[in-house]
């Protein structure tokens, strides 16, 4: 029995969870949580204050995703109008942060906070490059037609027409 108990504590310790620490669970809903998974750290101003503990599709069939985060109870008092934000930590990874609101009313255990997901770095770059790509494709089509016309003219002159 003691071995099983030790195993449970050990596995949770490796996951970054302290079973003796009181925690509150908060939820947020997103259209896309790419790059975020269970055990992704939750940061507040750069300090780790919790982590993502669960993700699942919303049961309403909307295709949206519910994200649940666990915050150490004694670390922060979270106002009801706070946000859980997904952002790009660097080129390849996404991170989750908690942005406290200004409300005097505190969020309770299990409350749903506002979810805010920024575009990933690659999505942002693609969004900026897409218009340039379309313009370049249009210019290439024009250049191709000009070169085809020029080739016809030069071929006609070479034949002596």
Report residue 161 as tokens: 């027409």
Strands of 11-104, DSSP E? 23-30, 41-44, 47-57, 65-72, 83-88, 94-99
What values do phi and psi take at 87, rounded to 5?
-140, 170
% of the chain with per-residue pLDDT over 90? 34
Q: pTM for the complete prediction?
A: 0.65
Q: What angle do CA 62, 63, 66 make, to 5 degrees?
A: 100
List pLDDT tens digits, range 25-58.
999 999 988 889 898 999 999 999 999 999 999 9
What values do phi and psi take at 30, rounded to 5?
-135, 160
Query: Which CATH code, of 3.30.420, 2.40.30, 3.40.50, 1.10.4190, is assigned to 22-118?
Result: 2.40.30
38 CB-near residues (< 8 Å, 6+ apart): 52, 53, 54, 55
Mean pLDDT of 79-95: 87
The residue ranking higher by pLDDT, 161 or 77, is: 77
């Amino acid at each position: 029995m003691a071995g099983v108990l030790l195993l449970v504590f050990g596995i949770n310790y490796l996951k970054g969870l302290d079973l003796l620490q009181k925690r509150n669970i908060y939820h947020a809903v997103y259209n896309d949580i790419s790059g975020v998974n269970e055990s992704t750290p939750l940061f507040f101003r750069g300090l780790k204050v919790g982590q993502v503990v669960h993700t699942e599709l919303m049961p309403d069939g909307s295709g949206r995703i519910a994200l649940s985060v666990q915050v150490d109870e004694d670390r922060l008092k979270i106002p009801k109008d706070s946000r859980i934000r997904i952002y790009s930590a660097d080129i390849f990874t996404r991170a989750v942060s908690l942005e406290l609101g200004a409300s005097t009313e505190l969020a309770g255990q299990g409350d749903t906070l506002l979810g805010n997901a920024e575009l990933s770095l690659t999505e942002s770059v693609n969004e900026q490059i897409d218009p340039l790509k379309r313009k370049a494709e249009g210019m290439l089509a024009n250049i191709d037609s000009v070169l085809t016309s020029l080739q016809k003219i030069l071929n006609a002159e070479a034949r002596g027409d």
